[in-house]
Structure 1
Amino acid sequence: MARKTGSHSQITGPKVRAAAQSLFARKGFAAVSMRQIAAEVGVQAGALYLYTPDKQTLLLDLMETHLTELLAGWEDSDPKGDAQDRLEAFVRFHIRFNLDRADAVFIAYMELRNLTDENFAKVEALRGRYEDMLEDILRDGQRAGRFDIPDTKLATLAVIAMLTGVNTWFREGGRLSRDMVENVYWDMVRKAVATT
């Protein structure tokens, strides 16, 4: 019996992805077997192959989905116009978007080493598109004399790393609210790129 009674692809497929994401984030991709994912979902191991050809494809799917949603989310949020307004919007968007997706963010950054070369190239292209969006904002601010940045690529990587780091320490109900975190991080980024 390959499929659990009452199981449907539109129900079980997302459960497989959610279970894999949770397990990969908690234990690491290399330590998780297809059998463990199946047990988490409540299906036989062989049934997983109805939803994904292998564990590598599942990892790629999780990363691509996260990055595609990130790109689409920013494109919908981008206020256009003034570089400083756009940079503030980017900072706030990045924090807000990623805090709701801690497992996906962890996997997208920490499991790159487990991708095949071909899959790494696909994920790297998506990451590059997102980085380019921020770098365009920084370049626009530099050209307008609003930002003093000696290297926009380096500044892009530094800002993204700083913003993504929020996921490592932020806890809901902790000392700082989400709004406070956004405000403090925006102030730090603003000061880091401002003209003197």
Structure 2
Amino acid sequence: MARTQGSHSDITGPRIREAALRLFAQHGYAAVSMRQIAKDVGVQAGALYNYTPDKQSLLFNLMAGHMADLQTAWDAVPQADSALERLRGFTGFHIRFHLERPDAVFIAYMELRNLTEKNFAVIESLRRNYENGVEDILKQGMEQGEFDIPDTKVATLAVIAMLNGVNTWYRSEGRLSLDEVERVYWSMVQKSVST
């Protein structure tokens, strides 16, 4: 199949992913067609299939890429010895990482239902790996006597859910700066797990 004139794989591929990410976040996966994505990028619909086999693969790759980037970024954060300091570091990391990627976060949580069973299992496994890292911090805090948590798995999910909420309401021009928001959330997270 001939490439569209002026198309370059190192440019068009990322543009397709960016357009799909934006359109899926704005309209929902089910409402967006490959033709719409192609129009947004400025290529013929058939040209998309040079970069992705289908729309499902595009959704899956966006989600998997987001989870891989999230895990890689978290793995690069230096870890303190204290569980309390590790949890504080996680709180700030999670808020800031996700605020920089609102469309990816929205899709990662809201479009899971549109994945095939096989793709869902892969994404769920990647999410579980990330969650397990947080639960390890909570378990360490229990062992060190810093935390009092009846169920570390539930607490992990509750902390992540609370931190994800920032994406729905925070605006940089709002009443609180990002540093202030992070301090408020850290205070709430700390109180929710402390002895």
TM range (shorter): over 0.9
The separation in 2 between residues aligned to 1:142 and 1:2, in whole angstroms, is 60
Residue 138 of structure 2 is matched in structure 1 by 138
The separation in 2 between residues aligned to 1:178 and 1:78, in whole angstroms, is 21
**1:58 partner amino acid:** L
Residue 123 of structure 1 is matched in structure 2 by 123
Percent sequence identity over aligned pairs: 64
Residue 87 of structure 1 is matched in structure 2 by 87
Residue 4 of structure 2 is matched in structure 1 by 4
The separation in 2 between residues aligned to 1:38 and 1:26, in whole angstroms, is 16
| 1:18 and 2:18 aligned | yes
| 1:70 and 2:70 aligned | yes
Root mean square deviation, CA, Å: 1.0
Residue 170 of structure 1 is matched in structure 2 by 170
Q: Is the 8 A contact 1:135 1:153 kept in 2?
A: yes
Q: Is the 8 A contact 1:2 1:44 kept in 2?
A: no
**2:169 partner amino acid:** W
**2:120 partner amino acid:** F
Q: TM-score under structure 2 normalisation?
A: 0.98
- Cα deviation for residue 3 of structure 1 reads 3.3
The separation in 2 between residues aligned to 1:2 and 1:186, in whole angstroms, is 54
Q: Once structures 1 and 2 are overlaid, which stretch shifts more, 164-173 or 125-134?
A: 164-173
For structure 1, the residue ranges without an aligned partner over 5 or more in a row are none
The separation in 2 between residues aligned to 1:2 and 1:127, in whole angstroms, is 38
Equivalent residue pairs, number: 195
Runs of 4+ in 1 over 6 A off after TM superposition: none
Equivalences for 1:143-158 in 2 at 5 Å? Answer: 143-158=143-158
Alpha-carbon spacing, 1:139–1:50, altered in 2? closer, same or farther (3 Å): same
